Structure 1
Amino acid sequence: MQQDSLGNPTTGITRHYTDTVMFMDSFLGNSQYFQTSTGGQEPWDPYHYLNIYVINRSYFAGTASSPSSHGAAWDGMAIQYTEFHQNSHVLTHEVGHYFGLFHIFGGTSGQGSCGDDMVADTPPQAYNLSCNYPVKSCGNTVSNDMVMNYMDYTPSSCKNMFTHGQADRMVSKLYSDRISLVNTPNCGSVGINTSSLNSVPIKLYPNPSSSSATLYMAQNLSGCILSLYSSLSKEVFRTTCQDQQITIPRNGLPSGLYYIRLMQNDQVLYTSKLIFE
Structure 2
Amino acid sequence: MKKLLWAFLMVWPILANAQVDICKALEIRESRNPFLRQRVVQNVDLDTAEIIVVPLVFHIIHLGEQIGEGTNISDEQIQSCVVALNEDFRKIEGTNGDGLGVDTKIEFCLASRSPDNLPTTGIVRHDASDLIFSFTFSGQQIYEEYALDGVSPNSTFGSPQGVPHTYMKDVYGCWDIEDYLNIWVVSEIDGNNGESGIQGFSYVGFNDLQCDGGPVVLYNVVGTTGNIKFGNLNKTITHEIGHNFNLLHTFGLGGSTCVETNCETQGDQVCDTPPTTTNYGCTPSNCADAQVNNYMDYTSQTCRNTFTQGQTERMREELWSKRNGYTSSLGCIPVVDIDGGISNMAITNPNCQTTFDITTTLANFGFAELTNPTLTLSNGVNQTSALIPLSLQAGETYTHTTQFSSLASATIYANVSFQQTESFLANNVAETQFVYADGNILKVEISPDVWSNEIDWELEGENGQIVAFGGDYPVFSQDSTFVDEFCLFGSCYTFKVYDTAGDGLCSFDFDDDGFCDANYNQFIRLSLNNQVIFELIEPDELDYGSLLTFDFCDEISECEGDLDGDSHVGVSDFLIMLSYMGSLSENNPLVTDFDGNGTTDFNDLSVILANYGTSCPAIVTFETILPNVDAEVLNGGKEIDMVGFYDLMGRIAGNDRGVLPKGIYIVVTSENGKMIRQKILIQ
TM-score normalized by the length of structure 1: 0.59
For residue 132 of structure 1, report the CA deviation from its aligned partner: 2.1
| Matching residue of 1:236 | none
CA distance in 1, matches of 2:328, 2:165: 29
For residue 150 of structure 1, report the CA deviation from its aligned partner: 0.3
For residue 116 of structure 1, report the CA deviation from its aligned partner: 1.8
- The residue identity in structure 1 corresponding to 2:184 is Y
CA distance in 2, matches of 1:184, 1:81: 27
Residues 1:55 and 2:186 are matched in the alignment: yes
How many corresponding residue pairs? 179
Match of 2:167 among 32, 36, 42: 32
| Matching residue of 1:95 | 241
| Matching residue of 1:121 | 272
CA distance in 2, matches of 1:45, 1:56: 24
* 8 Å contact kept, 2:199–2:217: yes
CA distance in 2, matches of 1:46, 1:67: 13
| Matching residue of 1:240 | none
CA distance in 1, matches of 2:245, 2:202: 9
For residues 93 and 31 of structure 1, do their structure 2 counterparts lie closer, same or farther at Cα, with a shift above 3 Å needed? same
For residue 15 of structure 1, report the CA deviation from its aligned partner: 1.5
- Please list, as runs of the form range in 1=range in 2, the aligned pairs for 1:206-245 lying within 5 A after superposition: none
Match of 1:175, SS state, is: helix
* 8 Å contact kept, 2:206–2:322: yes
For residues 189 and 5 of structure 1, do their structure 2 counterparts lie closer, same or farther at Cα, with a shift above 3 Å needed? closer
- Please list, as runs of the form range in 1=range in 2, the aligned pairs for 1:84-233 lying within 5 A after superposition: 84-86=222-224, 87-107=233-253, 112-114=255-257, 115-133=266-284, 136-137=286-287, 144-188=289-333, 191=336
Instruction: Report Cα offsets for 1:88-138 as digits up to 9, x if no partner.
Output: 30000001011110101113xxx73335211111001101112225x652x
Structure with bigger RCO (C-alpha 8 Å, 6+ apart): 1
| Matching residue of 2:121 | 11
* 8 Å contact kept, 1:47–1:71: no
Instruction: Report Cα offsets for 1:184-238 as digits up to 9, x if no partner.
Output: 232237846xxxxxxxxxxxxxxxxxxxxxxxxxxxxxxxxxxxxxxxxxxxxxx
- The residue identity in structure 1 corresponding to 2:150 is F
Match of 1:70 among 201, 204, 208: 208
- The residue identity in structure 2 corresponding to 1:46 is I
TM-score normalized by the length of structure 2: 0.25
Identical positions, percent: 32
For residues 148 and 185 of structure 1, do their structure 2 counterparts lie closer, same or farther at Cα, with a shift above 3 Å needed? same
Match of 1:105, SS state, is: coil
65-74 or 20-29, larger mean C-alpha shift: 20-29
Q: Higher Cα Rg: structure 1 or 2? A: 2
Root-mean-square deviation (Å): 2.3
For residue 144 of structure 1, report the CA deviation from its aligned partner: 1.7
Instruction: Report Cα offsets for 1:8-46 as digits up to 9, x if no partner.
Output: 12121122211131324245773132033xxxx211111
- The residue identity in structure 2 corresponding to 1:84 is V
For residues 122 and 186 of structure 1, do their structure 2 counterparts lie closer, same or farther at Cα, with a shift above 3 Å needed? same
